[in-house]
Structure 1
């Protein structure tokens, strides 16, 4: 297929771009190159004959119409989004404009293109979302595809709204869609404002490692390359107008996760004492969800997918990648907001 991938210079999007090229697809990478994007993420495929890059903003409808008309994709994978919860607390407007208005523009551009092409049955609009739209869990239970939406941050509310738009365009206009909601991703090329890279980079610089609250918040961790595999599988084999939850089956509290990273660093980049001595508990984020957990039964039973990487194996790979790719992350440390405490309300 020729796949139009939005947000393909970001963390998850670039993993999908790289995997799609390896799998033999043609890719059109559409990215606005905002603060969290980096073309170095796709440098390994940039010269491939089946790869094209378009710098454009999904809020720009005219640019979207031009890109559809020029490249004539067989499918869309929509990953472009503002995604950092802390930034959404400080500046929710960007999240509303990009995640809601941008998704509306993309849906309308895709609908126009699909209609003018004769409404081909094979066309798919794959909307990639997050488990955060479901809200917060207690000590037990998991999110399923039928869990009621209960977003609790400007970020998750904007993603929930975009999910609803996609479903509405399917119902109202017949646009062929699939949706996925994923758990927390991690791995190579993770922008250095998110928890795991913050832990690694602060430790390497001898700075305190901040943990919100008491560190008891639980997340289900999904290795980004596993996620890319699952997304491409859903695009090709997922049932029309159906959603799939994608989880790593790797629940860990934030404190457990940070302690594991510190023990890996103790082994791979030893120093006097343990990196765990740098752990510092800080004031919690407003509205911090207690626990996320994905029930992956549907994607396992219908499509045969399961994650292949345990959190221990994935964290080892991730730490090694950051140790081996200092040039990549050092260039990003000067970007706006990186290294600062955001989202205190």
Structure 2
């Protein structure tokens, strides 16, 4: 099977390429990535140097480029997206261009050539839940995005669903909870705290730190994507979660404990505008219809593995860390 991976030099996409090479060595993988600040060629180096994966540098909004690549592949796994909430509040247009225009461009190529699509999305399209609400997001939860990022991802999801219904394309959609793990850009919450602690910098916690996220290791997410590709029903949406609900304060304290720092070694900073309260995923449908189960049921074990990766790969993140902290300083966060 010839698989085109969009955004495959970013965090989840690069981990997908590496995981797919390990679990499905018969797949022929091509990555397309615009190689923006959030991408890193070094993430793919183990499979690029051996020729196991081909890398095409380009934008998914480039219709001519996308058309040729889609025509040459059997399946498209669509990770490409601008995904950082703080950046979307600072400059929304790149999110519209990548997440909406890029997805539209990809859908039209898939429609022309009759190819299979799996579209990767986020639980953030559903908005948020109250902290004391026992409910979780399901496939029937209405979209209710809070930020330019989540609004553009919700728009992309709706485009895919419309192309399924109106044009009969063969596609599935997945909405996943917050990912963590190796090769995540240091602007994101967990790697920002890990790399800061490694440099002797106290973590920074938005507001009270009581906002809840449902965490999943990136390998568990990508294993679920493979399961949906092979076992999922066409036209369906699947929610991917590993029952990892923790508030941000708990995550910071876990990291401090694992890295040998006092539990109170952090600082509160002003909260982010429109900061969602709580995300929670009900992955019953996915588990019922496929054989997927998360490997990292213990969040401590997953975080320890992630800390070890950043500790031993400083050359991967050092330069990006400087730029990310400069941006946070400008935004006052």
TM-score grouping bracket, smaller chain normalisation:
over 0.9
Alignment gaps of 5+ in structure 1: 115-122, 267-273
Q: Within the alignment, does 1:176 sit opposite 2:170 as a pair?
A: yes
- For residue 3 of structure 1, report the CA deviation from its aligned partner: 0.6
Task: Say whether the 8 Å CA contact 1:107–1:166 is kept in structure 2.
Answer: yes
- Cα offset for 1:66? 2.5
CA RMSD between the two structures: 1.6
Residue pair 1:124, 1:235 contacting (<8 A) in 2 also: no
Q: Paired residue for 1:297? A: 284
Q: Report the Cα offset of residue 74 of structure 1.
A: 1.0
Match of 2:54 in 1: 52
Q: Give distance in 1, aligned partners of 2:127 and 2:70.
A: 35
Aligned partners of 2:8, 2:123: CA distance in 1, in Å?
20
Shift of residue 338, structure 1, vs aligned partner? 5.6
SS in structure 1 at match of 2:238: strand
Q: 1:184-224 CA deviation, whole Å, 9 max, x = no partner?
A: 00000110000001111111222231111100001110000
Deviation string 1:88-142 (CA, Å, 9 cap, x unpaired) is: 000011111110011001111121122xxxxxxxx42000000000010112210
Query: 1:228 and 2:222 equivalent?
Result: yes
1:67 equivalent in alignment to 2:54: no
317, 327, 331: which one aligns with 2:315:
327
Does the CA-based 8 Å contact 2:231-2:289 persist in structure 1? no
Long gaps (5+) in structure 2: none
Name the counterpart of 2:103. Answer: 103
1:68, distance to aligned residue in structure 2 (A): 2.7
- Contact 2:119/2:171, CA 8 A, preserved across alignment: yes
Q: Say how many residue pairs are matched.
A: 328
Counterpart for residue 28 of structure 1: 30
TM-score, L = length of structure 1: 0.92
Secondary structure, in 3 states, of the residue corresponding to 2:5? strand
2:116 corresponds to 1:124: yes
- Tell me how far apart the structure 2 counterparts of residues 277 and 244 of structure 1 sit (CA, whole Å): 38
Q: Residue 339 of structure 1: CA displacement?
A: 5.8
Of the three residues 141, 150, 154, the one matched with 1:147 is: 141
Change (3 A) 1:148 1:344: farther
**CA shift in 2, pair 1:93/1:2, >3 Å:** same
Whole-angstrom distance in 1 between the partners of 2:256 and 2:327: 19
C-alpha deviations, 1:145-188, integer Å up to 9, x for none?
11011101110000000000001111111111100000000000
**Residue 125 of structure 2: which of 109, 114, 133 is its match?**
133
Distance in 2, Cα, partners of 1:212 & 1:318: 22
- CA–CA distance in structure 2, aligned partners of residues 50 and 175 of structure 1: 29
How does the TM-score come out when normalised to structure 2?
0.95
Q: Distance in 1 between matches of 2:252 and 2:139?
A: 29
Q: CA deviation at 1:331?
A: 3.1
Deviation at 1:143, TM superposition (A): 0.3
Structure 2 distance, partners of 1:79, 1:152, is 21
Tell me how far apart the structure 1 counterparts of residues 88 and 325 of structure 2 sit (CA, whole Å): 12
CA contact (8 A) 1:218 1:290 kept: yes
Distance, in Å, in 1 between the alignment partners of 2:29 and 2:284 is: 30
Q: Deviations over 1:230-280 (max 9, x none)?
A: 1111112110000100002111110000000011000xxxxxxx3544311
> What SS does structure 2 have at the residue aligned with 1:340?
helix
SS at structure 2 position matched to 1:308: coil
Q: Is 1:186 matched up with 2:180? A: yes
- Secondary structure of 2:201's counterpart equals coil
